[in-house]
Amino acid sequence: MSSLPGIAELPIAIVGMACRLPGARNLAQFWELIVGGRSPIGELPPERFNQQLYYDPRQGIPAKSYTKIGAVLEDREFHAAECPLPAELVRSADRTHLLICETAAAACRHAGLDPFRLPLRNTGVYVGHAQGSTLAGDYIYRGCVEEAAQLLADLPALAGLSTADRQALVREMIAQIQRELPERRPGGPDLATHMVAGLISRAFGLSGPYLAMNAACASSPQALLLAARALQLGRIDMAIVGGASDCKSDTLTLFSAAQSMSATGSRPFDAEADGLVCSEGYVALVLKTLPRALADGDPIQAVIAGLGIASDGHGKSLWAPRKEGQIEAMRRAYRGGLDPASLQYIEAHATSTALGDATELTALGEVLSGVQLGGRKIALGSVKANLGHTLECAGLTSVVKTVLCLQQRTLPPAINIRQLNPKINWRSAPFYVPRAAAPWPEPAAGQPRRAAVNSFGIGGLNMHLVLEEAPRGNAAAARAVAVDSRPARGADDEAIAVVGMGCILPGAQGAAALARLLEEGRDVKSAATSDRWPAEKIEAARRQGLCTLGGFITDFAYDWRRHKVPPKQVAQADPMQFMLLEAADQAVKHAGYDRRPLDTRRTGVLVGTEFGGDFATQLQVGLRLPHMQHVLSRLLRRYGLGAEQIARVNEAFSQAVLAKWPALVDETGSFSTSTLASRITKTFDLMGGAAAVDSGDTSAMTALAGAMDLLLAGDCDLMVCAAGQRRMGWPTYEALATAGVLAKGENPPAPFDAQAQGLVPGEGVGVLLLKRLADARRDGDTIQAIIRGVAAGHAAHAEEATCLAISRVLAMAQVNPQDIALLETDGLGLPAEDAQLVAAARGALAATPRSQPLVVSSAVGQFGHTSGASGMVSLLKAALEVETGRAAPIVGLSQPAAGLGDDPSLVPAMGQPRALPPATPDGRRLAVVTSYGKGLSYAAVMERGQRVPMPAAAASPSAERVAAKSPAVRTPKLPLAAAAERPTRVEAQTLATSLGNGGPLTTGPLRIVRLGGAHHEELTAAIQAAA
């Protein structure tokens, strides 16, 4: 079969929502702003934008904004009374994370739920967000100013100063800047981007996945898409989806460099529209499937009836939108009989840029050109006229506006229009712009009021959503019954084939090189060198006994001629763009798509990575250049230099800084992590959509889960699932050392070693080319491995989270714990957490005596911990291991820690590659791959691509009888892992019926539950009977 039938057509109910926007602290104030045609846009206050440092009305000045207008929140304080978090959580969080958490709590209450006592704990949190407040930048700037100031020592423009004076100038500049900035201290706030969602998950005690999504300006709608697909596939029971953005000088500077800003105002659809106006905001939605919401009696605010995703493919540049990609996204949202002819309102992306708005309206015109509208026109609007561009939050801001319009049955007025854009033929266009509020007309008989929302991100990342008013009468119940009668799903229906692999890792470029390196068991970590760290930092670290070792990539050089990327772009852009591009190229060739057609229209990209890294560090230095020049100017006046001399020194210093750290002058948009994905779509002309996701160390597995869901829902037919991390500069090591988790010495033991005492970082990228298993078999692809499922678990402790993730994925894959031959895990080198990972493996995979031991292996000892890419390294390694039947050794493991070396059911791979236990009676060799970080754990079940040849003796009647009871046809007996949810009567009866009849659980993934509540006797009896 292809995609799972009907999955993407299952409606999603918005049961709660909340907002905190400029000029609107809540939904009521937001509606008043919209219907009243008001706007809070104005000159930014000095505490939010330092005009002396960062404003220059001239365009093209490095690190300066030519606009000083925007829209920001009047109240940016976190209100503990409205969101009572423990003091420890408040102290450990970034301001932006606290504000979206408070907004999410309000959305839960709007749904009639207590956020701190949610009945459905298997809730996922998905937030569109790229970066938090300025605090993270302050830390980076403070740590890098020494290296930047040292450039003054050799600056020819300062030749008039003595050597002693120049050295004194450097010292004074460093001291003065560092005095003005906060210092990173142990126990300080966790500013990692993914904690924008992780804080909500932790605060509300949730057990589902969490992630931050970066699809540039389409970030929050793409977060909503992944949440919707997880709900439709039964991965989670409820979702909290948000958008969070913070307006700051960095944003104004970067958009000014692209000359996409307006210095006068936001005027979508107007003839004088000349650019966007930056804004900020926090929006949250609570989502369930419509049948679940109806059954639970939730207050349904509106229904999401369709979702379409696409990317532009080839285009002129990153900043130039392409109508073809927008048209694809719009058309893909209308499935299962959903007709665009029923639309009555369209909330456009419409950022107020001349090219962008014209492209969108042209695309809309083409999509609606063949639609029978019966002579009427569709109303068109854009909230950006009121608020400006709320960046990552923009898509959800548009969604909430549209829902309010549906609820109020009012078409909103467009503002700031003197003359409609003359480049659009408004007379023949199928839409019009209402200039005053008007009643929303009655829809056609039997139809709900229906609207659409566009959201587009730079790099050609496009989303289209179809919204309906809340259902009335029996029609919704009839739809719910129809959805609930969908056909049952078997194990193969949700299986995904790996048809291609690629990687750039220390010592290994490509799958074949990785296979050789794993077989050799060679340690490829090396010491930091002066091209990655300042020489004085290397010496200082060694004096302090800190580890300078890491999994550094030292032999990669991108050939710009391969994909015809201009050398200037290669020099200035994030190097990880080209590492990922190279690995994707390897995977495409590995799958044979260089020799046969690749359906580029239906291929998407999802990249897992921790946002930030070496490029972000370099960029932050450039963004703070005006501040450094300001301090330098004051000091130079004390040394007697005149205004002209100071100007020359500042210019020379600017050139020196940007020559060393050229990120600020990058023209490819590398400041947005989404370009890691859009670089691939543009190079290969892919139009299936693209984004980057961040869940911390588990980012690769989050990308895998999202990619699989997009395939199963039919959004794409092929997915480039990628992960990468390049964060090996001194600031990373300094932060790890401050946190007390960096390894010590120059030869630290591997994770799971009895002497392990810290983490050794690594870097690298990897790519899996994924396809639905049935499609891969149909098309004759060489199947490198099969992924039977991937699941997440979140809990306060690593053991509980990992046990939950493994239990969930075994149920999803319909696999018995006894059938797992290999556990491939990351491991941190932190004894307490690694011990919990081992305990989780024992509890989930070896709770009962095993006929064969479970082999445990990890790549971290060989490559270092590659952070957001670590799960991808484990997946690549496991795919090769289940193919060869040999587990690579844990490099550096000499004395296994307690619980691993002394348990016969868990055997670490040591010294030499270890043969995996024989395959299951039906010829399957299975591995579980886990990844963990900050309370979130993922587990995937991976199988060899082809059946393992079985010896003749195995083909006996007894073996056939065992095979007949294999997980492919029999429900697995699973250990019950602790989880917060309790079974309802329906769940208990369903489980009892399925287990009692000896049939597989084909109605959806089994929710692992704690035995408790009013119906635990039914569950217990069912499980005992099935045993």
- Per residue in 187-230, pLDDT tens? 899 999 999 999 999 999 999 999 999 999 999 999 999 999 99
Burial track 633-649 (b if 16+ CB lie within 10 A, e otherwise): eebbeebebeeebbeeb
How many percent of the chain have pLDDT more than 90?
85
pLDDT, tens digit, for every residue of 536-581? Answer: 999 999 999 999 999 999 999 999 999 999 999 999 999 999 999 9
When pLDDT is cut at 50, 70 and 90, the band that residue 697 belongs to is very high
DSSP 655: H
pLDDT score recorded for residue 951: 53
* Range 321-329 average pLDDT: 97
Environment class of 354 (CB within 10 Å of its CB; exposed 0-12, middle 13-18, buried 19+): middle
**What is the rounded average pLDDT of the residues 712-740?**
96
pLDDT category of residue 492 using cuts at 50, 70 and 90? confident
The pLDDT of residue 6: 86
Higher model confidence: residue 483 or residue 273? 273
Closest C-alpha to 573, from 604, 618, 607: 618
Amino acid 920: pLDDT: 85
Query: Distance of CA 637 to CAs 157, 350, 633, 644, 647, Å?
Result: 15, 48, 6, 11, 11
Asked, colleague to colleague, whether 11-133+190-481 and 496-610+668-944 share their fold, the answer is: yes
Q: Give the count of alpha carbons within 13 A of 606, CB side only.
A: 33
**Per-residue DSSP letter, 730:** H
Q: How far apart are CA 109 and CA 958, in angstroms?
A: 58
How far apart, in whole angstroms, are the C-alpha atoms of residue 144 and residue 351?
Answer: 35
- At residue 666 the predicted structure's pLDDT band, cuts being 50, 70 and 90, is very high
* pLDDT for the residue 491: 74
What one-character DSSP code corresponds to residue 8? G
pLDDT score at 354: 86
* 768: β partners: 501, 721
pTM to 2 decimals?
0.92
100, 782, 973 from 111: Cα distances, Å:
17, 48, 36
57 class by beta-carbon count within 10 Å (0-12 exposed, 13-18 middle, 19+ buried): exposed
> Which of the listed ranges 2-6, 853-857, 969-973, 1016-1020 does the model predict with the highest average pLDDT?
853-857
DSSP string, 573-609: S-HHHHHHHHHHHHHHHHTTTTSS---GGGEEEEEE-
Distance CA 241, CA 392 (A): 12
**Residue 998 reports pLDDT greater than 50:** no
Q: What is the 3-state secondary structure (H, E, C) of 327-346?
A: HHHHHHCCCCCCCHHHCCEE
> How many CA atoms are closer than 13 Å to the CA of 773, on its beta-carbon side?
18
Residue 542 CA to residue 536 CA, distance in Å, equals 10
Would strands 820-825 and 854-858 be described as parallel, antiparallel, or unpaired? parallel
- Residue in 588, 583, 609 with CA at minimum distance from that of residue 670: 609
Identify which has the larger pLDDT, 697 or 974.
697
**Helix, strand, coil proportions of the chain in percent (round to 5)?**
40, 20, 40
Report strand pairing: 378-381 vs 345-347.
Answer: parallel
675, β-bridge pairs: none
pLDDT, average across residues 1009-1027: 38
DSSP 173-237: HHHHHHHHSPPP-TT--B--TTHHHHHHHHHHT--S-EEEEEBTBTHHHHHHHHHHHHHHTTS-S
| Position 757, amino acid | Q
pLDDT digits (tens, 9 = 90+) for 377-431: 999 999 999 999 999 999 999 999 999 999 999 999 999 999 999 989 999 999 9
Least confident of 65-79, 324-338, 997-1011: 997-1011
Confidence of residue 989 (pLDDT cuts 50, 70, 90): very low
Mean pLDDT across the chain, nearest whole number?
Answer: 91
Tell whether the model's pLDDT for residue 829 goes beyond 90: yes
Q: Which two tokens stand for residue 475?
A: 């029609």
pLDDT of residue 88: 94
Angstrom distance (rounded) from CA 346 to CA 326: 14
* Residue 401, both tokens: 């506006």
Q: Which distant-in-sequence residues (6+ apart) come within 8 Å of 644 by Cβ?
A: none
- d(CA 682, CA 672) in angstroms, rounded, equals 15
The answer to whether residue 587 scores a pLDDT higher than 60 is: yes
Largest CA distance in the chain: 97
User: Rounded mean pLDDT of 164-168?
Assistant: 96
The SS3 assignment for 24 reads: strand
| More confident: 5 or 193 | 193
pLDDT category of residue 986 using cuts at 50, 70 and 90:
very low
Q: Hey, is 379 helix, strand or coil?
A: strand
Cα-Cα-Cα-Cα dihedral sign, residues 38, 42, 46, 49:
positive
pLDDT tens-digit map of 922-940? 889 999 999 999 999 999 9
458: exposed, middle or buried (C-beta count within 10 Å: 0-12, 13-18, 19+)?
Answer: buried
Integer CA distances (angstroms), 754 to 85, 684, 750, 832, 898, in order: 37, 47, 9, 11, 7
- Tokens 């210092």 belong to residue: 183
Specify the pLDDT at position 922: 85
Give 1022's pLDDT tier (boundaries 50, 70, 90).
very low
Other beta carbons less than 10 A from residue 546's beta carbon? 20
pLDDT at 477: 53
CA distance 941 to 698: 15
Q: What is the pLDDT of residue 247?
A: 97
Place domain 496-610+668-944 in its CATH homologous superfamily. Thiolase/Chalcone synthase (3.40.47.10)
Q: What angle do CA 715, 721, 724 make, to 5 degrees?
A: 145
Predicted local distance difference test score (pLDDT) of residue 475: 53
The better pLDDT of the pair 1002, 741 is held by: 741
Phi, psi of 829 (to 5 degrees): 85, 5
Res 316: pLDDT: 77
In 333-413, which ranges are continuous DSSP H helix?
354-368, 384-387, 394-408
Residue 785: predicted pLDDT: 98
b/e map 949-980, b = 16+ CB within 10 Å: ebeeebeeeeeeeebeebbbeebbebbebebb
What is the pLDDT averaged over residues 892-912?
91
Nearest to 396 by CA among 244, 248, 289: 244
pLDDT, tens digit, 9 for 90 and up, residues 241-271: 999 999 999 999 999 999 999 999 999 999 9
Task: Report the CATH superfamily, name and number, of domain 11-133+190-481.
Answer: Thiolase/Chalcone synthase (3.40.47.10)
How many other CB atoms are found less than 10 A from the CB of residue 832?
A: 9
pLDDT surpassing 60 at residue 510: yes
Annotated domain spans of the chain: 11-133+190-481, 135-187+623-661, 496-610+668-944
pLDDT higher than 50, residue 956? no
What's residue 312's pLDDT? 97
Helix (H) or strand (E) holding 456: strand 450-457
Instruction: Quickly state the pLDDT bin for 488 (edges 50, 70, 90).
Output: low
Closest CA to 802 of 763, 830, 842: 842
Q: How far apart are the first and last CA of the chain?
A: 32
Q: Cβ distance 124 to 304 under 8 Å?
A: no
Closest listed residue to residue 785, CA positions, set 884, 862, 866, 702: 884
pLDDT of residue 3: 76
pLDDT surpassing 50 at residue 283: yes
